[in-house]
Structure 1
Amino acid sequence: MRFRKPLSTICIALLLSMVSGCAHFIEQKILYPGDGGMVVEGVSDRELREIYHLQAREIAGQRRLPFYFGDAEALTADFMPPKMDFTFRYSNAPKGIEPVRKYKLELESPPKDFPSAKGIIILLHSYSTNAQSVFFDSVALQLQGYHTASFDLLGHGQAGQQPVSFGAADLKRLHRLITTLKQQYQLPVILYGKSYGASIAAQYIASYGSISGFIAVAPMTDFTPAATRVAKSSSPLLTKLVSDQWLQTTFENVLTERQTNSRQLSTPRILLRQTTDSLPPTLILAGGLDKISDPEQIKALATIDAVKVKYFDNRGHIEMMIFDNQLNDSIKPWLNNL
């Protein structure tokens, strides 16, 4: 005797299978975002390092830590800084906002007698990019007199075989790098983080301290609302299959498995929890059109004496990742007064 399953039962089974598959797909995309195509093609790594005045270095050990180092004291007058000329197209631009923007970075060659390095700036890239995404930032900061160091956070670039840590594991890697560079150069260390990288930097300050300054560019706020907004804008089909609440629950479940949660990753919340004497001088660079970083959380940071908040009125979150003359000119005086 054969029994035929009702059509409704089959549909439910298929739907559950699709939802289960979506959950696994999303979990993998969260934990292994890769570099979002942020790999410069047609140029070898050696050539890239020459262009941006970087050295490939590595901290040996059971878990090797490769990183890029920019030696400011090795800059010579014949070094020709790279130029950036970038056109950004703002889809669905709000009324009164120019949909096509042009960004430029023009840096001057170093003087003949370049001074000794003032400190070391460690650059932490944004989510779904890699260390290459902060190369323009790195060379500009070298020309301001700072050694620089950058590396791929877990789940990204060369570290893409391991899942995103959302904190703990990357904090240990960052601490190894800071300890090594402090021992070698005996210079103050400044952390520079973009979006997700700013959250990692803030977590480090809360856990280890001993940092002389912090620059946060479009710092990440609560992860889940931001990830939900990005998922909806980048995958319209996904939003037809599942609800916002389902997406948010899935994101939070992934974070719970990594022993954290959305609020704990918020850069402003982390900084607001610190005591006055434990927080280093901090510069926040925020976009006035940013819908990924919560503007209310950013605004709350202005109440902290150690924090200076600088707004770029016509920039969204992605545009804040573009290092141009405007960002460079905003960072330079702050560093000079540090």
Structure 2
Amino acid sequence: MKILIIANSKIVFGRELKEELFQKDKNIDISLLDFASLTLFDNTNQENQTYSKEFLKYKNIPKISMFFRMLYIKKVIQEYNFDIVNIHVSRWFYLLILPTLIKQKLIITFYGSDFYRTSNLIKDIQKVIYKKADAITFTNPLTMKSFLNYYNNFKDKSYVCRFGLKTLDYIDKNRDKSKTEIKQSLGYNSKKIIITCGYNSTKAQQHTKIIESIKKLDDSLLKKIQFIFPMTYGDNLNRENIKNILKSSNLDYIVLEDFLYKDENAYIKLASDIMINILETDSFSGTMQEFLYANNVVITGSWLPYELFDKEGIKYYKIDDTKELKKTITKIVNNMKEYKRDLLVNQDIIYRLSSWKNCIESWVNVY
């Protein structure tokens, strides 16, 4: 069986799914095509840049670039004769090559925001793709329900398939290491409380509102805190804007720009004490779960669809408005031991929900 996953290779979901499927069955031939660059990764992660080099000529041409991206994706599918194509993140552009896509089993995978942040016009245009797809997957029941309610169709081909979190294993591997040493290895201040703000550089993370709130913290509290802004992927223009805002602030901060894998990715979670996640919209936040698994006190928005976390008994803290951040952070920092003690329940729950060991079978069934 030959499988192609089309996804952003800098985001762990597609990359880890590829690895876990191959570990489950070494007889399958599974490749990952990076949507942005069109680099093709095979079973052993060897890079084939045949089409990425051709695409470079058109990549930065507005509007036209997407046409050529689809053209080269079509060529990859035709050249390698895949049995299954799994598209991660639904986009209307795939209509341009739909006749090619439906010649093999077609699976559409939603992350969450690719449904919630899409206009109704685009949703209606994309309906043609979903009619032709063999299966449609979602990371949680709520997003699937929203999708089914909107289209009033496709129930017989819709499935919940959660992405496992490989980082959980790396957190366990490093959990007993000295937190001081981990902080030092990352360049953090080992004597300060670490608060991580968001997890990428998109505007949806609402960094500006976070900064406005934390700047209002009492000076006596700010002296105890170092703020970390992970901005290793997302919106480059927004990242530069946030960096400029931070430069003129009174905060002790670090902006993370280099993508981190495996142990270093786990270190970011283990070094942190508090994590702020106030996305405009979200689905089933893997990164937030990793911070919870590493015993962070997580502050998130009450508007985010984390009903499953509530149902399972995961301990985290909700705010109704970003203006509540100052009060909430102050309360947590001043009572850190008490808040940390409440987190002990999270580890077992998150492992059960989101370890690849417990998630891979649903993907195997859909494939």
User: Normalised by the size of structure 1, how large is the TM-score?
Assistant: 0.31
Which of the pair is proportionally richer in helix?
2
TM-score of the pair, normalised by structure 2: 0.29
